[in-house]
Amino acid sequence: MSTDPSNELAIHEEIDLYVWEGTSDIASRAERCLSGYDVSVIRADAGLTFPPPREAARPAVALVSVTVMNDARFSGYDWLATQGIPAIWVASEERNRDPRYYPPAYSYTLPLSFTGAALRALLFRLAGIAHAAERAAARAPRPLVAVSESMRALLAEAQTFADCRASVLIHGETGVGKERVARLLHDHAAWSAGPFVAVNCGAIPEGLFEAHFFGHAKGAFTGAVGAHKGYFEQANGGTLFLDEIGDLPLYQQVKLLRVLEQNTVTRLGSTAEVNVDFRLVAATNKNLQGLVAQDAFRADLYYRLAVIELYVPNLEARGPAEKAAIFKALLERYLPGDTVEVPDWLVDRVARTRYPGNVRELSNLVERVGIIRRQFRVWDRERIERVFERLGQGPGAGHGVGDGAGSAAGSIARREAGVDQQAPVAPRAPFTPAEQAERARVVAALEANGWRRQDTANMLGISRKVLWEKMRKFQLAEGQGELADGAVEAP
């Protein structure tokens, strides 16, 4: 392996370089410049609609040609922002940093005629920055809010079993915070310094289970330019959290059970067995015993998972005080440095509202209210009330606000405020977690700007056309919408 004086990180750690090259030929050049270094060049736009899952324990950097910026097929902005990966933009001429996409400290450029030395120096420096940030974040896990007796009992039980190596099965409705409980188990274990790898079993693409879980050797298939560890290896020495385990097909359950029994994996394209040692924590919102009775879930895997069982209560069962406490805690993180006290009317409104989506829905509410507070610097009661009214019009309509808001009264309020009279249509199929987060961000920005599209696009730092495409994608643009100047725009 070669060494590079620009940064010793290259000697000790592997780096993932995700490349979107568009119409420029930068992926092959990057491979040549980084030949001999522990860098996996991943062609993120080589026929993929989204990048492959990245190994959280490894530093990663993106190399993006500006030729993809206006390409509708480029879906990397949100993914990069979500992953916290610094981006190097490659352009034929010098460009200023664009704060619309990344904070200034994480936005860098290279000329199209970049040299190998320049690429390596910037890559290793950014990888070091990103990795240091990840480790700092890992050292400061967010505490769980536990005001109710039921949650305090749950956390006490989780801490009791944290150091036990036996598998844990966490039960609870969607959005109650099952992953947070799994993280607590990991953080209080003797192996807390090891990795915590979270996987949503319902989001594994058909036919890619082996590649994601077992990893692959270099050259195992087209595009496999380097070896890649699967989830089992990534979790070695730590905790593997499998969310929505009930969505795992039967043929994949067999393979998972074999790994749990043998503690070895074999990467695709390789014959060498690799020993793995991790604590398995699984979670489900389904009745696994019922699925076992229907032959939809393997009984032997169920008994292997359910050695220790924890039950997370839904938000309604935790009571109004805990709703208010969670809201305040989330709002403090969303508005750091804002010392203005949350008004009593808002705390009371939060406490008496029902959230079918549990903490996840409450978190969405926090973001929407937080945007209003941040943009207008006041607790705009009229706008915030409209946010609560709309809670009853999305997924789970009819269960949102206890006083029935979101029906005819909500429509009248929206007409008086000059916003769209057509309520957003609930999604016809579940969105992925990343899409749900993006949809919530767009809705919150629309709410903050009275559903005026140009103002919303300006706030999000995107064009009006891109906003319109996002609204169509998330089914937020049905019928006609009113523009800022009072004109009417048809879809």
Query: For 217-259, how does the pLDDT look when each residue is reduced to its tens digit (9 = 90+)?
Result: 766 555 554 567 888 988 999 999 999 999 998 988 999 999 9
Q: Tell how far CA 473 is from the center of its chain.
A: 18
Q: Share the mean pLDDT of the chain.
A: 76
Q: ∠ CA 198-228-300 to the nearest 5 degrees?
A: 50
Q: Which two tokens stand for residue 138?
A: 């890992």
Per the DSSP assignment, residues forming a β-bridge with 43 are 19
Tokens of 268: 């695709």
| Contact yes or no for 299/289 (Cβ under 8 A) | no
DSSP-assigned beta bridge partners for residue 91? 111
**145 burial class (0-12, 13-18, 19+ CB within 10 angstroms)?**
buried
**Residues in the chain, pLDDT under 50:** 1-12, 48, 98-106, 139, 225, 393-428, 478-491
* pLDDT computed for residue 390 by the predictor: 81
* pLDDT for position 96: 52
Determine the Cα–Cα distance for residues 15 and 38; give it in Å rounded to an integer: 6
Q: Determine the pLDDT at residue 100.
A: 47
| Helices 381-390 and 344-351, packing angle to 10 deg | 0
Contacts of 385 (CB under 8 A, 6+ apart): 349, 405, 413
d(CA 474, CA 443): 9
At residue 94, the pLDDT reads: 53
Q: Are 441 and 367 in contact (CB under 8 A)?
A: yes
Asked if 63 and 19 touch (Cβ cutoff 8 Å), the reply is yes
The amino acid at 145: V
Return the pLDDT at 254: 93
What's the pLDDT score for residue 46? Answer: 56
pLDDT tens per residue, range 413-422: 333 333 333 3
pTM: 0.57
Please give the C-alpha separations between residue 99 and each of 232, 285, 438, in angstroms, as whole numbers: 37, 39, 18
3-class secondary structure for the chain?
CCCCCCCCHHHHCCEEEEEECCCCCCHHHHHHHCCCCCEEEEECCCCCCCCCCCCCCCCEEEEEEHHHCCCCCCCHHHHHHHHCCCEEEEECCCCCCCCCCCCHHHEEEEECCCCHHHHHHHHHHHHHHHHHHHHHHHHCCCCCCCCCHHHHHHHHHHHHCCCCCCCEEEECCCCCCHHHHHHHHHHCCCCCCCCEEEEEHHHCCCCCHHHHHHEECCCCCCCCCCCEECHHHHCCCCEEEEECHHHCCHHHHHHHHHHHHHCEEECECCCCEEECCCEEEEEECCCHHHHHHCCCCCHHHHHHHCCEEEECCCHHHHCHHHHHHHHHHHHHHHCCCCCCCCCHHHHHHHHCECCCCHHHHHHHHHHHHHHHHHHHCCCCHHHHHHHHHHHHHCCCCCCCECCCCCCHHHHHHHHHHCCCCCCCCCCCCCCCHHHHHHHHHHHHHHHHCCCCHHHHHHHHCCCHHHHHHHHHHCCCCCCCEECCCCCEECC
Q: Which pLDDT value is given to residue 166?
A: 93
Confidence (pLDDT) at 141: 55
Q: Report the distance separating Cα 71 and Cα 419, nearest Å.
A: 31
Return d(Cα 65, Cα 216) in angstroms, integer. Answer: 27
Give first-to-last CA distance, the chain, whole Å.
57
Residue 232: closest CA among 279, 166, 170: 279
